[in-house]
A and B are shown apart, each in its own frame.
Chain A
Amino acid sequence: MEKIVLFLKRIDRRWIFLLIFLSCIIPFWIPSLFNQKFSTSKETQRVYDIVDGLKEGDAVFIDWDFNPTLQAELLPMAEQFIKQCFDKKVRVFIYYPFISAISLGENALVNIKKEEKYSYIENGVDFIHLGYLPIYTDMMLFSMYSDFKSTFGKEGKIFKGIKTFKDISYLMSFAGSNYPESYILLQRRFGFKMGVGVTAVSGPDFVPYLQTGQLDGMIFGLKGAAEYENLRISHGAQKKHNMKANAGMASLTLSHLIMFLFIGIGNFIYFYEKKYKKSN
């Protein structure tokens, strides 16, 4: 036993990195390895239901607060949200609070447009990139509540009937930081409805806002994105273009199993050595 413990103790950390690497990449090569099913959380369901309840011609405001470094977690959920809006013929306004997020958002819409189902969508009609403004959220919100269109200096058919932010049905913020809190703080004052799509790291910070009803819904991490995909698929969306997050879920499961294994091994060595030292 001692030899095994000594061997395990001296494993080079690079072997662990390699195992984690393989556990992430193998499920993409063998997709049938983990054909897992999981339930949908209440928070994800709420976001889906809210968009599902919107009428044709309604408008949503997306706060695209993430750049390529967080795209693995947030892009699948943002894409699904936008696609659902297009399914419901809801107008989509996308605002970028950070400059580095703009190209990612523009590329995402180009990719969505490539799908046959959404080939009709047009910039300025069905969606619009509002760009970046070098001002704080509060100033932007005050300006939007005064005159929505001139806040961004953009033109298009999409603005028809949208005078102020009151005409926007829902605000959805996709972020990997606490940035959506700047909207939440002003939510009481203006009374808009909002939800968030956040990374697993920043997710726990937003749970208190769900409990108080300040947030209507939350898509949480890669799992939340996969839940959202499943919801859309169960309501008739094609699997072909809507499985990005689901594809990553198998990798997430396998890599976590490997981590559990090593945490178990670490604990085993710790307690074994403690016992061994006591007996000597």
Chain B
Amino acid sequence: MDIINTMIDSTILNHTFQIWMSVLLTLMMLSFLFRDNPLYKLGENTFLGISLGYGWVQLWNMSVVPFLIRPIKDAYLDFQPYDIVLILWILMGGTMFFRFSKNKAWIANYYFAFLFAYIAGYLIPIEVQNLFVQGSNMMKPLFEQPSFFEISKWFVIIFGTFSGLMYFFYSKPQKGLLRITSRIGILVLMTYFGAAFGATVMGRIALFIGRAQVLAENNQASIVIAVLISIFLFVYFKFIYKEPGLDDEQMH
């Protein structure tokens, strides 16, 4: 066992190995930007396999063992009256497996009914409460707001919301005042979409910057692996890859 541990320490857990793997997998995934290729597929499936495997092990250790297996074991060894609650919930959760049966799938509906009732009963009051909090904030005396910016914000929110809603009001032909209002509405909506899009782009670039930082900090590994991947892509697309012919397309 010690030999295996030493081998793992000197290979998979080795810092240099980890850095090179990190750079390799990053560049393998980025190679998709050039064109879909086997290296990308390998990286993609490696990621999926590892993350699912890791997730399952963690889920087993942190959820199934402490909240299901251990309580069952304890109840078996020393049964107490309150363990009936545990059995009840195990049975309730177990009904989910009836979804696999065509005839008995309805049994699982009892669990779902309970779950939905609980979520609705819990969420509806607090969501409404939250709406009241948000709404009451808009009902403060307008000219008691601390700054001109706050007052202008109020106008933008009230009239922006109203004109935005008017854009989707199709019960009357959009002519005259309704047309002007809906035009303002679409401008407000577009401004929001623009801001959301800008923030999304910034977020996506920020995510890439994290990988760029890894590549920049490990120059040697990045350059060597980038050259190797470039050679592979050149060889693959020049000599191995075949454009799908008409027959292939028809077959698919």
Taking CB atoms and an 8 Å cut-off, the chain A residues in 13-28 that contact chain B are 14, 17, 20-21, 24-25, 28
What's the Cα separation between A239 and B211 when bound, in Å? 22
Is the CB–CB distance between B209 and A248 below 8 Å? yes
Is the CB–CB distance between B62 and A131 below 8 Å? yes
What's the Cα separation between A14 and B215 when bound, in Å? 19
* Contact A188 to B130, CB < 8 A, known contacts A24-B208, A256-B202: yes
Is the CB–CB distance between B63 and A134 below 8 Å? yes
Is the CB–CB distance between B212 and A200 below 8 Å? no
Q: Quick one: which of B34, B123, B206 has the most chain A CB within 10 A?
A: B206
Shortest Cβ distance from residue B206 to the other chain A in the assembled complex, whole angstroms: 4
> Mostly helix, strand, loop or mixed at chain A's interface?
helix
* A45 CB-CB contact with B under 8 Å: no
Is the CB–CB distance between B203 and A186 below 8 Å? no
Residues in chain B near residue A248, CB distance under 8 A:
206, 209-210, 213
What's the Cα separation between A214 and B130 when bound, in Å? 10
* B33 CB-CB contact with A under 8 Å: yes
* B205 CB-CB contact with A under 8 Å: yes
* B195 CB-CB contact with A under 8 Å: yes
Contact of A72 among B58, B126, B196, B206 (CB under 8 A): B206
Nearest B residue to A139 by beta-carbon distance?
B122
Nearest B residue to A258 by beta-carbon distance?
B205
Is the CB–CB distance between A14 and B34 below 8 Å? yes
Residues in chain B near residue A69, CB distance under 8 A:
207
Is the CB–CB distance between B208 and A138 below 8 Å? no
What's the Cα separation between A28 and B133 when bound, in Å? 45
Is the CB–CB distance between A222 and B62 below 8 Å? no
* Contact A201 to B200, CB < 8 A, known contacts A25-B216, A188-B129: yes
Contact of A212 among B133, B199, B210 (CB under 8 A): B133
* B12 CB-CB contact with A under 8 Å: no
Taking CB atoms and an 8 Å cut-off, the chain A residues in 162-177 that contact chain B are none
* A44 CB-CB contact with B under 8 Å: no
Shortest Cβ distance from residue A264 to the other chain B in the assembled complex, whole angstroms: 15
Taking CB atoms and an 8 Å cut-off, the chain B residues in 174-195 that contact chain A are 195
Contact of A25 among B63, B67, B195, B215 (CB under 8 A): B215
Is the CB–CB distance between B202 and A221 below 8 Å? yes
Number of interface residues of A (CB under 8 A): 46
Is the CB–CB distance between B122 and A138 below 8 Å? yes
* Contact A203 to B129, CB < 8 A, known contacts A25-B212, A138-B122: no
* Contact A102 to B58, CB < 8 A, known contacts A17-B33, A138-B122, A204-B195: yes
Is the CB–CB distance between A72 and B130 below 8 Å? no
* A247 CB-CB contact with B under 8 Å: yes
What's the Cα separation between A204 and B197 when bound, in Å? 11
Residues in chain A near residue B34, CB distance under 8 A:
14
* A280 CB-CB contact with B under 8 Å: no
Q: What 1/0 mask marks residues of chain A from 59 to 98 whose CB sits below 8 Å from any chain B CB?
A: 0000000000111110000000000000000000000000
* B54 CB-CB contact with A under 8 Å: yes
* B230 CB-CB contact with A under 8 Å: no
Shortest Cβ distance from residue B137 to the other chain A in the assembled complex, whole angstroms: 4
* A255 CB-CB contact with B under 8 Å: yes
Known: A134-B63, A248-B206. 10 other contacts (CB 8 A): A24-B208, A28-B216, A72-B210, A72-B213, A99-B55, A100-B51, A132-B63, A188-B129, A251-B205, A251-B209
Return 25 A-B CB contacts under 8 Å, by A number.
A20-B208, A24-B208, A72-B206, A72-B207, A99-B58, A99-B62, A100-B55, A184-B130, A185-B129, A185-B130, A186-B126, A188-B129, A189-B126, A189-B129, A200-B200, A201-B200, A201-B203, A211-B137, A212-B133, A212-B134, A212-B137, A213-B137, A251-B212, A252-B209, A259-B201
